Amino acid sequence: MSQSTATIDAPAAMRSRPRRWWTQLWVQVLIAMAFGVLLGIFDPDLATKMQPFGDAFIKAIRMLIGPIIFCTVVHGIAHMSNMTRVGRIAVKSLAYFEVMTTIAIIIGLVAVNLLKPGVGMNIDASTINASIVEPYVKQTAAVGLVPFLMNIIPNTFIGAFADGNILQVLFISVMCGFSLTWLGDRAKPMVDIVDVAAKMVFGIVNIVMLAAPIGAFGAIAFTVGKFGLGSLASLGKLLGGFYLTCVIFIVVAFLPVAMLCGFSLFKLIRYIWEEILVCIATTSSEVVMPRLMSKLEFLGCEESVVGLVVPTGYSFNLDGTCLYLATASVFLAQATNTQFDLSHQIGLLLILLITSKGAAGIAGAAFVVLAATLSAANSISVASVALILGIHRLMSQGLTPTNFIGNAVATVVIAKWEKALDERRMQQVLDGEITWKG
């Protein structure tokens, strides 16, 4: 079974001494986040100027995502003798993604109806300044099932990498993997080159991740400095309810799945805790995608499964985004006293099953898709999304780690179903007997 190109072998890992607590990435990120929050509270103007630190870190990781997906997928498929297995993994993954996102939408709708965060706000939608959301509304034309499917095919081979579109890179990678497989032994030199290239790219990831605390500091300082505690106070019920909903979903949806597949959800969360903290700080799960792929391979999942499930999940398995869309839509209806009964909400669920798939590859995806969903539902004023524009980033700090955890669980589950999981190694890693040293 292949292991991550970014990790050391198991014997070396087991021989390694435990790292001192202050040298661990999650500790450094937590400390950096704490300083960022304090700076945002006591000097908001200076805190907002810290944004470039967070943006630079995100850009540095995003530039590597295309090459990582390409190398991992091509290398994985090239070593698979049974091409029908690739199709089987894809079908199982998409089926699993659809079930989980549907559950997310239902839980989101139930929670927002029980908590009623918008009731009593009594906002007149006609008095809302719609101009501030026009840039997002203009993008809704590109959101939808057909444009989404058409966008999977890139205009040019290199264009997919230049644009950083995950699905387009995945599409090209699968095609190249198939082609190398059909070439047989003649493809071995190229496969070896891809393998070396993967090791190089993952090495760069390890270098960039050294700056994760700085990136986390800049991102969280900007968020607190720009939006302040006032945003939390004015829409605190919505934020608190949404964070609670995310936690409930993780426990209700993922815990039974993990138990059925024979692993501890909480141990898995502990294993990827560093990456979750980076997600929360930067409100981006893409920045830890390379580390997630490496850690899942180190955990015992086959490279081919990781290479197919993780990039696909980043486009189709957006559980946190679905929770956000369901919660925000009904909240806006409550806040503006818009009639939105059970029949309307069932219609919203069906619309979200389509529009949520259009979130991939769009800047400010969740907010854009929210505007598209309200436009398609034609029941709630699209202009009302201005009410949550100020706290969208704060809500992203709940939806982003939920998306991330969902894709980690999905990969382990699919690997288990495909008998592509070294379960003994997984238990050793989750129990801390084998330590990740990425």
Nearest-10 Cα torsion for 411, 417, 420, 422: 90
254 DSSP 8-state letter: I
pTM: 0.80
Tens-binned pLDDT, residue by residue, of the chain (438 aa): 444 443 334 444 434 455 676 667 778 888 988 898 899 888 988 988 998 998 888 888 888 888 888 888 888 887 776 677 788 888 899 899 999 999 999 999 999 999 988 888 777 777 766 666 665 555 554 555 566 677 788 888 888 888 777 778 888 988 898 888 888 888 888 988 988 998 898 888 888 888 889 988 988 888 788 766 655 555 778 888 999 999 999 999 999 999 999 999 999 999 999 899 988 888 888 888 889 999 999 999 998 899 889 988 888 888 998 899 899 889 988 888 888 888 888 888 887 777 676 555 444 567 777 877 777 777 787 778 877 876 777 888 889 899 999 999 999 999 999 999 999 999 999 998 988 876
Buried-state track 315-338, b at ≥16 Cβ within 10 A, e below 16: bbbbbbbbbbbbbbbbbbbbbbeb
Which of 217, 279, 213 lies closest to 36, judged by CA?
217
DSSP letters along 376-426, please? HH-SS-GGGGHHHHTTHHHHHHHHHHHHHHHHHHHHHHHHHHTT-B-HHHH
d(CA 346, CA 106): 9
10 Å CB burial of residue 70 (0-12, 13-18, 19+) is: buried
* Sign of the C-alpha dihedral computed for residues 384, 389, 390 and 395 taken in this order: positive
User: Do residues 242 and 327 make contact, with C-beta atoms less than 8 angstroms apart?
Assistant: yes
Structure tokens at 330: 């009904």
Return the domain boundaries, the chain: 25-430
Spell out the alpha helix ranges (H) of 235-264. Answer: 236-249, 255-260
CATH 1.10.3860.10 correct for 25-430:
yes
